[in-house]
Amino acid sequence: MDEKIEDIEEIIGKYMQAGEILSTVRSEAKEKVKIGTTLLEVADFVEQRTIELGGLPAFPCNISRNDEAAHATPLIGDETVFAEDVVKLDLGVHIDGYIADSAITVDLTNENSDLVKASEAALYAAIDIIKNGINTAEIGAVIEDTITGHGFKPIANLTGHGVGQYLAHVPPSIPNRHIGQGVTIKTGDIFAIEPFATDGAGKVADGTLTEIFQVIGHKPIRLPAVRKVLKELEQYKTLPFARRWLKSDKLDYSLMQLEKAGIITSYPVLKDVGGGLVSQTEHTVIVTDDGCKVTTK
Q: Cite the annotated binding site for substrate by residue number.
A: 71, 169
Cα–Cα distance measured from residue 91 to residue 112, given in angstroms and rounded to the nearest whole number: 22
3 is catalytic: no
Of residues 120, 169, 272, 283, which has the active-site annotation?
Answer: 169
Q: Answer yes or no: 282 catalytic.
A: yes
67 has catalytic annotation: no
Catalytic annotation, pick one of 47, 68, 194, 211: 194
Identified catalytic residue from 47, 120, 282, 283: 282
Q: Would you call 101 a catalytic residue per the annotation?
A: yes
Of the listed 94, 107, 161, 189, which one is catalytic?
A: 161
Active site residues: 90, 101, 161, 169, 194, 282
